[in-house]
């Protein structure tokens, strides 16, 4: 019975609506190993207890303690993908604001489903996403190169080839979603270690108390639950590569032990005095600025210098020129073949918009956009109007770097700049109108002493519409 349960794909549901979670458990429990949490904090506790991150996650945006705002849901998405970038996150939310949907996709969610929904349709969607997840994993493990023709990507490939065979540590830096994990696996695959198993640990994905025994192993009786001795990653990765993602999350007390391994190869299992040795090649990654972390006292300076013998900076997608189009073509071909469908195309205006968009979520965001377009418009020509809802233009406008020209077509660049300016003005106007509307809602509630039916009648709208507006603006009941 337990073995059968373990063989099921794992689905995490984060939602405080018991009606929804009870229904999902009834409909999905047969296909999935289901874990349910009512808040972000509860989900984090649950995730710390799991042996491995879930393959799929359904996340409500309006979570306690601020259920009237999407903030907790956004943080949940970010934290899930920090634990494992391969988790497929789907937003299931009553907060159907289009800006919320776009932002959720930008930070890594692959789709946004509005409540209420048909549960059987949701199950079909989840099974399709899971199938794509499995095929991506197979493709990723067989891929050893970095895609792109731009100068930054050419330099990145040169660095990977140059550093692959060296025994020294490599520090990979870059924004979330830019492909640091692929760089790490490429370093392994292109070295003489490539025939051996590759080991990876996300330091943010497990409880700090479990990092040490996971890395170094433990003896029988070393702590509650240690019924048998067990080797850690440093022993398992003998003659191979050990990739430590989110190294900036490593607790200070463990940083000294990692430094010791890097200096002389020595470590001890938890609960053991005998020294052991490891010759694993260490590759680490972070989206933090470790230099600032060192100055703030959160990261050891000596460890930073030891880890950064070789440093690789993975460029953000917005700086990769025509590679945005090349990646579009690559993922479009991949998902069309996997889904046995005809590829979609972009019309001229949509191509201009695609080339000018800065992709604040980097390659991960681009891939998820292609997945959605492939599912919605197989074999169709997509216009700018159809493409626009998939892009988070507000976040793109706020990026520190302006979009770089992607071709010599000056008129296309001018058109793209005009489009971004128009969108920014529209965003500002929408915000102003929402503030006025919120004022009317609050005034009607005050006049009627909080009576929803009377307030709705006063405003000339349905009671359900008023309730939706109250949830959106966080108005009192």
Q: What is the pLDDT of residue 322?
A: 85
Among the three residues 108, 142, 176, which one is the final residue of a domain in this structure? 142
Query: How many Å apart are CA 319 and CA 312, to the nearest integer?
Result: 16
Q: To the nearest 10°, the Cα dihedral for 461, 462, 464, 470?
A: 20
Q: What is the pLDDT of residue 30?
A: 86
For residues 161 and 208, membership in a common domain is answered with yes
Residue 172's φ and ψ, nearest 5 degrees, are: -105, 120
Q: What is the pLDDT of residue 95?
A: 64
For residues 45 and 113, membership in a common domain is answered with yes
One digit per residue, the tens of pLDDT, for the chain of length 477 reads 343 345 789 999 999 999 889 988 988 988 899 999 999 999 999 998 888 889 999 999 999 998 888 999 999 998 898 888 779 999 988 766 778 888 888 888 988 888 878 888 888 888 888 877 666 655 544 444 588 888 899 889 889 988 999 999 999 999 999 999 999 999 999 999 988 999 999 998 888 888 999 999 999 988 888 889 999 999 999 999 999 999 999 999 999 999 999 999 999 999 998 999 999 999 999 999 999 999 999 999 999 999 998 999 999 999 998 899 999 999 999 999 888 899 999 999 999 999 999 999 999 999 999 999 999 999 999 999 999 999 988 777 666 444 443 333 444 444 555 555 555 555 455 555 566 567 767 777 777 777 777 777 777 777 767 766 776 666 544
For residues 192 and 232, membership in a common domain is answered with yes
For residues 194 and 295, membership in a common domain is answered with yes
For residues 170 and 311, membership in a common domain is answered with yes
For residues 129 and 238, membership in a common domain is answered with no
Q: What is the pLDDT of residue 471?
A: 66
For residues 372 and 466, membership in a common domain is answered with no
CATH number at residue 42: 3.40.50.2300
| 228 occurs within a structural domain | yes
Q: What is the pLDDT of residue 115?
A: 82
Is the separation of the CB atoms in 95 and 350 below 8 Å? no
| 310 occurs within a structural domain | yes
For residues 372 and 420, membership in a common domain is answered with no
For residues 132 and 14, membership in a common domain is answered with yes
Total number of residues shown for the chain: 477
Among the three residues 278, 296, 315, which one is the final residue of a domain in this structure? 315
Of 124, 119, 55, nearest in space to 92 by CA = 119
Q: What is the pLDDT of residue 143?
A: 44
For residues 327 and 310, membership in a common domain is answered with no
| 295 occurs within a structural domain | yes
Q: Say how many domains are in the chain.
A: 4
Q: 416 forms bridges with which residues in the sheet?
A: none
Instruction: Decide: pTM greater than 0.75.
Output: no
CATH number at residue 418: 1.10.10.60
Is the separation of the CB atoms in 198 and 236 below 8 Å? no
Q: What is the pLDDT of residue 401?
A: 45
Q: What is the pLDDT of residue 412?
A: 46
| 403 occurs within a structural domain | no
| 13 occurs within a structural domain | yes
Is the separation of the CB atoms in 173 and 286 below 8 Å? yes
| 405 occurs within a structural domain | no
| 402 occurs within a structural domain | no
Q: What is the pLDDT of residue 339?
A: 81
Among the three residues 280, 315, 350, which one is the final residue of a domain in this structure? 315
Residue 30's φ and ψ, nearest 5 degrees, are: -70, -35
Helix locations, 146-283, DSSP H:
151-164, 180-189, 208-216, 233-236, 252-264
Based on the number of CB atoms within 10 Å of its own CB, is 247 exposed (0-12), middle (13-18) or buried (19 or more)? buried
CATH number at residue 323: 1.10.8.60
Domain coverage including residue 432: 410-473
For residues 128 and 35, membership in a common domain is answered with yes
Q: What is the pLDDT of residue 413?
A: 46
For residues 310 and 166, membership in a common domain is answered with yes
Query: How many Å apart are CA 192 and CA 279, to the nearest integer?
Result: 14
What are the residues whose beta carbons fall under 8 Å from the beta carbon of 150, sequence distance 6 or more?
319, 320, 321, 322, 323
| 239 occurs within a structural domain | yes
Is the separation of the CB atoms in 206 and 223 below 8 Å? no
């Amino acid at each position: 019975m337990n073995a059968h349960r373990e063989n099921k794909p794992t689905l995490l549901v984060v939602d405080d609506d018991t009606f929804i979670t009870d229904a999902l458990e009834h409909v999905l429990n047969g296909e999935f190993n289901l874990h349910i949490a009512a808040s972000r904090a509860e989900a984090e506790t649950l995730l710390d207890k799991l042996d491995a991150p879930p393959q799929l996650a359904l996340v409500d945006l309006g979570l306690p303690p601020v259920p009237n705002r999407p903030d907790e849901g956004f943080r949940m998405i970010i934290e899930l993908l920090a634990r494992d970038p391969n988790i497929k996150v789907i937003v299931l939310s009553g907060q159907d604001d289009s800006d919320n949907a776009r932002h959720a996709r930008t930070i890594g969610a692959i789709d946004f489903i509005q409540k209420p929904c048909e549960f059987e349709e949701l199950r079909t969607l989840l099974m399709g996403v899971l199938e794509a997840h499995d095929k991506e994993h197979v493709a990723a493990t067989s891929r050893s190169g970095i895609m792109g023709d731009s100068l930054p990507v050419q330099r990145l490939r040169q660095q990977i080839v140059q550093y692959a065979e060296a025994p020294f540590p490599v520090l990979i830096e870059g924004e979330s979603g830019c492909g640091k994990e692929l760089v790490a696996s490429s370093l392994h695959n292109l070295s003489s270690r490539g025939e051996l198993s590759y080991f990876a640990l996300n330091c943010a994905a497990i409880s700090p108390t479990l990092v040490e025994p996971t890395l170094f192993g433990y003896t029988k009786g070393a702590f509650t639950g240690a019924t048998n001795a067990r080797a850690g990653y440093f022993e398992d990765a003998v003659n191979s590569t050990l990739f430590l993602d989110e190294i900036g999350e490593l607790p200070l007390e463990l940083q000294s032990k990692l430094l010791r391994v890097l200096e002389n190869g020595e470590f001890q299992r938890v609960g053991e005095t005998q020294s052991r040795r490891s010759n694993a090649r260490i590759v680490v990654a972070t989206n933090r600025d470790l230099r600032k972390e060192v100055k703030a006292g959160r990261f050891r300076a000596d460890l930073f210098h030891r880890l950064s013998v070789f440093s690789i900076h993975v460029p953000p997608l917005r700086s990769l020129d025509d590679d945005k189009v090349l990646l579009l073509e690559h993922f479009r071909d991949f998902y069309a073949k996997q889904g046995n469908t005809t590829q979609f195309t972009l019309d001229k205006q949509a191509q201009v918009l695609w080339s000018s968009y800065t992709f604040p979520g980097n390659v991960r965001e681009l891939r998820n956009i292609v997945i959605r377009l492939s599912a919605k418009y197989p074999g169709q020509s997509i216009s700018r109007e159809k493409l626009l809802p998939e892009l988070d233009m507000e976040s793109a406008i706020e990026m520190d770097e302006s979009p770089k020209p992607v071709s010599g077509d000056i008129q296309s660049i001018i058109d793209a700049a005009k489009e971004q300016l128009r969108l920014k003005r529209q965003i500002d106007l929408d915000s102003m109108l929402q503030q006025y509307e919120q004022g009317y809602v609050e005034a009607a509630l005050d006049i009627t002493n909080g009576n929803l039916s009377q307030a709705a009648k006063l405003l000339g709208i349905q009671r359900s519409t008023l309730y939706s507006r109250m949830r959106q603006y966080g108005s009192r009941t």
